[in-house]
């Protein structure tokens, strides 16, 4: 009996198209599930699939869908536990700290006054990020007190849940690049350098991708990070690493529904095939 694979996605991007093709190549026709079409009775939901691969562009919708499917014992990739940690940079920082995984110094503050104190405790420059967000959006590199006061005032006026808690990191003087490693089931299958003259190196912001060899140090750090955010269950993750001139590799962020369109040809590794194989293992 073949496994019924569901792919949760309201938008079919390049990545989802390649995932559908990867499953087809393995002899499985996955079912597309658009979360916008779901209406479910709590306690009476029929998942109609044997495993769900969550690929929603909406973080909040994806997290609720994972809870829904797991409530009826349907395996999910990633699990709600893993996704909920990765979706929140503050929870990620706590998980990495508990596991002893190296990361940039991070401060959390609950008011503009406390945030200014935290910034000056770290020392300029610092990076301020929204606790929830992706694609390098709403990041601020702050060089002095005037800039800090301006950014904090803007966040206070904007309001909203994303601006009520301040997430502040030390600025790492990286060599005009960072590393994105793709980790599936705890194994680092490939990695890319993301190079840019701009301090934000995300490919979504124009960073250029090139192959990054998997060193023992990268593999070890990524496996430890995967275990830390997943409670040892691992999953399908993209881990962003920074190269600190003195401390070596630091974990910057962990992503649970990553894009990989710029990384397949760059690395020569069939990332969707690795993901599809892993998901099928979860269905058995």
- Distant-in-sequence, close-in-space partners of 260: CB < 8 Å, separation ≥ 6: 15, 182, 238, 271, 272
Nearest to 37 by CA among 16, 77, 6: 6
Confidence at residue 3, expressed as pLDDT on a 0 to 100 scale: 86
CATH of domain 173-282: 3.30.470.20
The mean pLDDT value for 32-49 works out to 95
Nearest to 201 by CA among 177, 169, 175: 177
Contact (CB, 8 A) for 112 and 153: yes
Which tens digit of pLDDT belongs to each residue from 240-250?
999 999 999 99
In this predicted structure, the answer to whether residue 132 has a pLDDT above a threshold of 70 is yes
Confidence at residue 111, expressed as pLDDT on a 0 to 100 scale: 93
The mean pLDDT value for 229-237 works out to 96
In this predicted structure, the answer to whether residue 198 has a pLDDT above a threshold of 80 is no
Confidence at residue 205, expressed as pLDDT on a 0 to 100 scale: 63
CATH architecture of structural domain 106-170 = 2-Layer Sandwich (3.30)
CATH architecture of structural domain 5-85 = 3-Layer(aba) Sandwich (3.40)
Domain ranges of the chain: 5-85, 106-170, 173-282
Q: Hey, do 5-85 and 173-282 end up sharing a CATH topology, with the first three levels equal?
A: no
Q: In whole angstroms, give the CA distance from residue 192 to residue 225.
A: 17
């Amino acid at each position: 009996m073949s496994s019924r694979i569901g792919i949760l996605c309201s938008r079919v991007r390049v990545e989802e198209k390649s995932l559908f093709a990867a499953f087809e190549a393995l002899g499985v026709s996955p079912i597309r599930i658009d979360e916008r079409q779901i209406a479910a009775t709590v306690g009476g939901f029929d998942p109609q699939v044997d495993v769900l691969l969550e690929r929603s562009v909406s973080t909040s919708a994806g997290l609720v869908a994972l809870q829904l499917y797991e409530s009826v014992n349907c395996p999910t990739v990633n699990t709600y536990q893993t996704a909920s940690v990765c979706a929140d940079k503050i929870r990620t920082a706590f998980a990495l700290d508990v596991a002893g995984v190296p990361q940039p110094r991070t401060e959390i503050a609950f008011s503009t006054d406390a945030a200014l104190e935290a910034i000056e405790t770290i020392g300029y420059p610092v990076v301020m990020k929204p606790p929830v967000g992706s694609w390098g959006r709403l990041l601020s590199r702050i060089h002095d007190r005037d800039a800090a006061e301006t950014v904090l005032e803007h966040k206070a006026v904007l309001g909203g849940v994303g601006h009520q808690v301040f997430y502040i990191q030390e600025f790492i003087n990286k060599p005009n690049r960072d590393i994105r490693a793709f980790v599936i089931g705890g194994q680092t299958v490939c990695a890319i350098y993301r190079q840019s003259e701009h301090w934000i190196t995300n490919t979504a912001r124009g960073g250029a991708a090139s192959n990054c060899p998997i060193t023992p140090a990268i593999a070890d750090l990524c496996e430890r990070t995967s275990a830390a955010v997943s409670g040892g269950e691992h999953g399908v993750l993209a881990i962003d690493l920074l190269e600190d001139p003195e401390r070596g590799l630091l974990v910057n962020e962990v992503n649970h529904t990553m894009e990989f369109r710029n990384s397949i040809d760059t690395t020569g590794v069939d990332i969707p095939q690795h993901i599809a194989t892993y998901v099928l293992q979860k269905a058995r």
